[in-house]
Amino acid sequence: MDKSPARRSRAQSSARSAKPADSPHDQAHARALDLMAAHPFIDGHNDLPWVVRQSGGSDLAAYDLTRLHPETDTDIPRLREGRVATQVLAAFLPTRIANPATVTAEQIDLILRIEAAHADTFYPVRQPSDVAKARDLGKIGSLMSVEGTVGLEGSLAPLRLWHRLGVRLVTLCHNETLPWVDSATDKPAGTHDGLSDFGRALIGEMNRLGMIVDLAHVAPHAMHKVLDVARAPLVLSHTNAAALCAHPRNTPDDVLRRIPANGGLVMATFVPGFLNPSAYEGLKTYLDPWGKSRPETDYRAAREACLKGWNQDGVAYLCNHLEYFRQQVGEDHIGIGSDFYGGPNPPGLEDASKFPFVIAELIRRGWGDAALVKLMGGNFLRVWTAALAQSEVSS
């Protein structure tokens, strides 16, 4: 989803009027809380560092993550309320920003400063066993990712530096095509078949380092090219099923069918236009032919269009996508990646406190404990462990 400053201001009326997905006192919700107390919940994607950067130049003291931020969706109190065991924090930057290598470094530095400034809350997660260590200490794990490889500037050297700094997952592109990989929401580069020679070298180096390759935002034809060359399981950290909502950012069945053989993971996301076909239809007026916001977009109007047409709440739509994923790839290959980025968010999925409502709804739909434990974090840990098992360096 676009992460422009104008889009970060959420419609407060929708948040106030959103109906809860369930009563906190019913048996399914209580069971969800018990499961989340016993097993780690890992959210595969959150753009909190970009929200902090856009709010005031990365001034952590001024932003104060310890207080509630009703204008956005993620802070320490709501991560706690949402029972998040480990949060993937993305070093996101727009593709067309000036000095992308510097901005990527600044975003990684911001995550490191979040970990340091709130060491009583966040535990740096740099290997799979750190997820359990964080829980044992009563802390929230912080797992660093980079969203978009524009900051490589055509070199693999920054990737190795990112790894040394603690980055463990990399999303290959964002909303725009790069010279080495085609984006789902932009025209193809036209100089290769979706993945260039440098792109293939990038996948090889990530596999060598044990970094998780993330196909979210990648064009389906390029996803296939990555799957052809990847030596380790990969993830789609924030996407939904194209069969249920035809937004170009969602994943088609022909890609989903390849995930089990790769050993990878597809993680359902909360973005309204990826969840609900009516929301996507409402947004189309504001999108370019490739499915991303036009430069002249009226973001207030687009927000309102996106939040209309909800005949179910966001929890129900999300669970529909999760059930579809389960049918297509099996319970060993699914997870959740919220993609909280400051809004707008669907009714019922307004902020990081809402994860237990999703687990409770799946319990009502008949999901057993074993499947839910895999969904919440077991599958992500398996993928990460497998990526490290075939790597050539120590994590």
pLDDT digits (tens, 9 = 90+) for 234-250: 999 999 999 999 999 99
Per-residue pLDDT, averaged over 380-389, amounts to 98
Cβ–Cβ < 8 Å for 93, 150: yes
Q: Rounded mean pLDDT of 108-136? A: 98
3-state helix, strand, coil in the chain (%, to 5): 45, 15, 40
Give the confidence band of 59 by pLDDT, cuts at 50, 70, 90: confident
CA count, 13 A, side-chain hemisphere, 392: 7
Contact by Cβ (8 Å): 318, 274: no
Query: What pLDDT is stored for residue 23 in this prediction?
Result: 57
Beta strands (DSSP E) in the chain are 42-46, 86-92, 122-124, 140-147, 167-171, 212-214, 235-239, 265-268, 334-336
List beta partners, residue 143.
Answer: 88
Neighbours of 191 (CB within 10 A): 8
Q: Give the pLDDT confidence score for residue 21 in this predicted structure.
A: 46
If DSSP codes are grouped into helix, strand and coil, which group holds residue 298?
coil
DSSP notation for 112-141: HHHHHHTTTTEEE--STHHHHHHHHTT-EE
Please give the Cα distance from 394 to 211 (Å, whole number): 11
Average pLDDT over residues 287-313: 87
> 6 pLDDT band (50/70/90 cuts)?
very low
Predicted pLDDT of residue 111: 98
Please give the helix or strand (H or E) that residue 196 lies within, else none. none
- CB count in 10 Å sphere of residue 324: 19
Residues facing residue 212 across a β-bridge: 169
**CB under 8 Å to 200, separation ≥6 — which residues?**
225, 229
112, burial (CB in 10 Å: exposed 0-12, middle 13-18, buried 19+): middle
What pTM value is reported for the model? 0.93
pLDDT, position 2: 60
- Residue boundaries of the structural domains of the chain: 29-389
pLDDT tens per residue across span 170-209:
999 999 999 999 999 999 999 999 999 999 999 999 999 9
DSSP classification of residue 18: P
Q: What is the pLDDT of residue 223?
A: 98
Q: What is the pLDDT of residue 5?
A: 37
Distances (CA, A) of 385 to 90, 128, 204, 323: 20, 7, 17, 25
What band does 17 get if pLDDT is binned at 50, 70 and 90? very low
* Helix axis angle, 220-229 to 197-209, nearest 10°: 50
Find how far residue 246's CA is from the centre of its chain: 19
Identify the CATH class of 29-389.
alpha beta
**pLDDT value of residue 14:** 36
User: Is pLDDT of 8 > 50?
Assistant: no
